[in-house]
Structure formats: C-alpha cells, structure tokens
Amino acid sequence: MNITKEQIDDLNAVVKVAITKDDYQDKVESILKDYRKQANIPGFRKGQVPMGLIKKQYGKAVLVDEVNKLIQENLNKYLTEEKLDVLGNPLPKQQESFDWDKDDFNFEFELGLAPSFDVALKTKKAITSYKIVADDKMVNEQIERIAKQYGKLVSKEEAGKKDEITGTFSNEEEAIENKSTLELDKLKAKKAIDSLVGKKVGDVVTLKTKGLLKEEHLLASTLGIDAEKAKDLNTEVTFTIEEINEREPAKLDQELFDKLFGKDTVSSEKELKEKIKEDSEKQFEQQADQKLLNDVTEYFIENTKFELPTNFLTKWIQSTGENPLSDEQAAEEFEKSEKGLRYQLIEGKIIKDNDIQIQFDELKEFAKGFIKSQMAQFGQLDPKEEELDNIATRVLDNQDEVKRLSEQLMSQKLLSLYKEKVNLKTKEVTYENFVKEVYG
C-alpha cells in the first residue's frame, strides 16, 4: 500500500491511496475459507461447497469490506504520523471509471486542513470585568424575604394589602379550575389588589388574567394551565376566597441564624447582613465570570482572523447529515456552525500555546468541590472526606460526567488565564444595574 499527499493550497489537500492485490489477498482468502467451512448451500455437504461458488457468492462483498478496512486503518495512521490537523473527516472523491473487478485500486480523499494563526491574549481593547456588589437595599430585602419565609401564618377575617389569600380560580370556557394562593404584594394590577382588599372568606372576586402578576411566568402555575396557554391568555376568572392569612415575620434570633447557616456561624443581625452580602457576592461572581468568558470569547472570534476551507466543510456537512442536503442547505448549515468552529480552533490554539492540561487528580478534586456544593444545598454542610472521595470516584466512572466536568474545569482554567493576560477594566455595579446593563 502506498499513501501520498498532494497539497492544493494552505487549507486543502488530496491524499491518494494505492492498494495492490498483495495488500488484501491473504485476508480475503482466509475469510472465504471460513465462509466455506460454515456455508449451508442446498446440494452440498457442509464444508464441501466448491470455493468457486463461495467466491462467486461472497467474494465481492468480502473484498470491498476488507479494502475499506485497510483504507480506514492506514489513512488514519497516515494522518497521525504526518501530524496533519484536519477538519471534519477525509471525503472520498468520486471516480466514474472505478472497477472492483480489477486487482489494484486507487482511491483519492479530499482533506480540509486547519488554518495556521496566532491568538493575541493581550487585547487591544479593554474588556469589562464586572464586580457585582450586594448593596444595603438588596441585603435588607433579602432579610425581609427570609423573615417572611420562616415566619408563621396568622388567620384573618378580612384581607389586607400584604396578606396571602387562598382560593379557587375558575373559568369554564378556558377549562380553568385550580386552587392557589395569591400574595397580594406580588400582584401587578392595582385594580386586582383593590378588588381583593377588604374581602372575606366566601367572597367571589372577578380578576383579569392579563397583567395580573408582577412575575408573569407564574400565571401558568397559579391558574393550573400550561405555560404556552398562559403566555397570551387575556380573559376573566372568578376567584372564590377560602382562606385569608397574614404572614408574621420570624424573629431575627439565634434559632433562625442556626437554622439558616449552621450552629453559631452567625450570632447577630450585623453578622447576618455580612453573611448575606458575602454569599450573594459569591453567587454574583459566577455570573460576572460567565459574562467575562462570553465577552472574551466574542472578542477573539471577531478579532482573530483566519480563513477556513469553506468549500470542503460545506461538502463535508452535505455528506454527513442524517438527511440529504442541497448545496444551498449545506451552505446555510455551514454558516450556522462557522462561529462555533472558529472558537473551537481558537480555544484549541490557546490551550496548546499555554500548555493548559487537566490531570486526573485535579479533576477528582474539582468533582469533590462540585459534589460538596450540591450536598450543601440539601443541608449537608460538613461531609466527610471519605464520603466525598467515594462519590467522586463513582461519578468519574461515568464518561459523560468526566466530559462534562472536564469542560467546566477547562473553562475555569481559561478564565484564570484571561484574568491574568487579557486587557481588562473592572467595573463595580449592583446586581440590579448589572442586569440592566447586560440584559437590557
């Protein structure tokens, strides 16, 4: 077998594979002999079928199969040995005069080659790195929510503006019949609030669904309907009041502090505020980091210029899709995937140039940290190291989890590199202003 490469240009090449009879004959003969031993053909005893008949019936299929195996094994080996950085997979060139009845075969494969380029980590333009702070307003609102959440319900005869009213929503035409609780301070429509204030158990109130709640996405669960229906629902429902309660805030005492953060972690209202501020800003840091990662990614895609073997990749997409694609459809698919492909190449270049690697031991430690944070959400604040180690071992036995965690750890490593090397400007904002600025 002989494999040679013809360079078309910097991004395209053709690999030629020449296979002679000597390359495949022994293997084909061996397989056909095995077929002969097992063949059950009427008129012949098992193992006594003439070889000529076996070759006539199975020879071509075995030949094609073995030649294809030879190509696959040796072509992949050649690409590795020659250190060719290819995009997609080699595409076989069509040969109109190809004949499987010959002894020797010649195949040609088109290659799309990865471009050569450099990534300048020190960006010309300063990229904003947000530092999100929890201001006094946010901390106080969080304390109010906590006190309310852990408070107790006190039954009332008449509804006030901050009470919780439980009742049944009904609308026969829209098939609505659902028991739910309304918190009056979460209603958006002033008319709805006014119509409920002063009402008693047994009263029936008519409410408009459109603009009823401040958080519109909660309308579906409130009315007991699916989200798609709730999205554009503009009708009236009756609300039959069954229960009226006032939520009495919990006292900010040691019992509540211990319930929230573990015994003696917080021992005063001042420490509570500090703890809420600290925890909130840790959560905000994740969002700020993701924003920074996204912005750096976008910058590199926009400012790292290189050509791609567009024609090859379009043909490759066309040939590997589940369903046949026209030239126009394949071109559209390439256009959709081009941005992602460009960043894969850029990211790979950054990882290679900066020798960023993931060792199994650090992946296991990363998994243990992830598991520990998950356990903390369910009140297990101090798991034993042996328990964490055992869970991490089980998690890393799953290759899908290994892939997912490796990607997350690599993102962290890249983020650390960007914070060190990229030209950044820090901007301190409240969470409210961060949301406005970033998400509009």
pTM over 0.75: no
**Total domains present in the chain:** 3
Alpha carbon 49 to chain centroid, angstroms: 57
- Same-domain check for residues 241 and 279: no
Instruction: Name the token pair of 330.
Output: 């394949």
**110/309 Cα distance (integer angstroms):** 11
pLDDT of residue 253 exceeding 70: yes
Domain co-membership, 314 together with 415: yes
Tens digit of pLDDT for each residue in 203-250?
Answer: 999 999 999 999 999 999 999 999 999 988 999 999 999 999 999 999
Per-residue pLDDT, 323: 81
- Is 161 found in the same domain as 43? no
Domain range for 69: 2-113
pLDDT digits (tens, 9 = 90+) for 132-180: 999 999 999 999 999 988 999 999 999 999 899 999 999 999 999 999 9
Residue 157 belongs to a domain with what CATH number? 3.10.50.30
Residue 414 pLDDT more than 90? yes
**272 and 419 assigned to the same domain:** yes
Confidence at residue 439, expressed as pLDDT on a 0 to 100 scale: 84
C-alpha 366: how far from its chain's center? Answer: 18
Residue range 394-418: mean pLDDT, rounded: 94
C-alpha to C-alpha distances, 419 to 128, 191, 255, 351, nearest whole angstrom: 11, 51, 41, 15
Instruction: Give the residue from 63, 90, 113 where a domain finishes.
Output: 113
Same domain for 232 and 284, yes or no, is: no
Do 276 and 266 meet the contact criterion of CB atoms below 8 Å apart? no
pLDDT band of 322, cuts 50, 70, 90: confident
pLDDT for the residue numbered 317:
92
Domain match, 239 and 272 both = no
**pLDDT score for 50:** 87
Helix (H) or strand (E) holding 26: helix 21-38
Residue 129 lies in a domain: no
pLDDT of 326 strictly over 70 = yes
For residue range 371-391, list pLDDT tens digits in order. Answer: 988 887 776 767 888 888 899
Residue at 213 is within a domain? yes
Query: What integer pLDDT is reported at residue 269 of this predicted model?
Result: 93
Q: Return all residues near 85 (Cβ < 8 A) that are at least 6 apart.
A: 113, 114
| 346 plus 243 within the same structural domain | no
Q: Given this model, what pLDDT does residue 117 score? A: 95
Answer yes or no: is 141 within a domain. no
Residue 381: predicted pLDDT: 65
CATH at 298: 1.10.3120
Q: Is residue 9 in some structural domain? A: yes
**Torsion angles phi and psi, residue 362, rounded to 5:** -75, -30
Residue 236 counted as domain residue: yes
Give tens-digit pLDDT for 331-365: 999 999 999 999 999 999 999 999 999 999 999 99
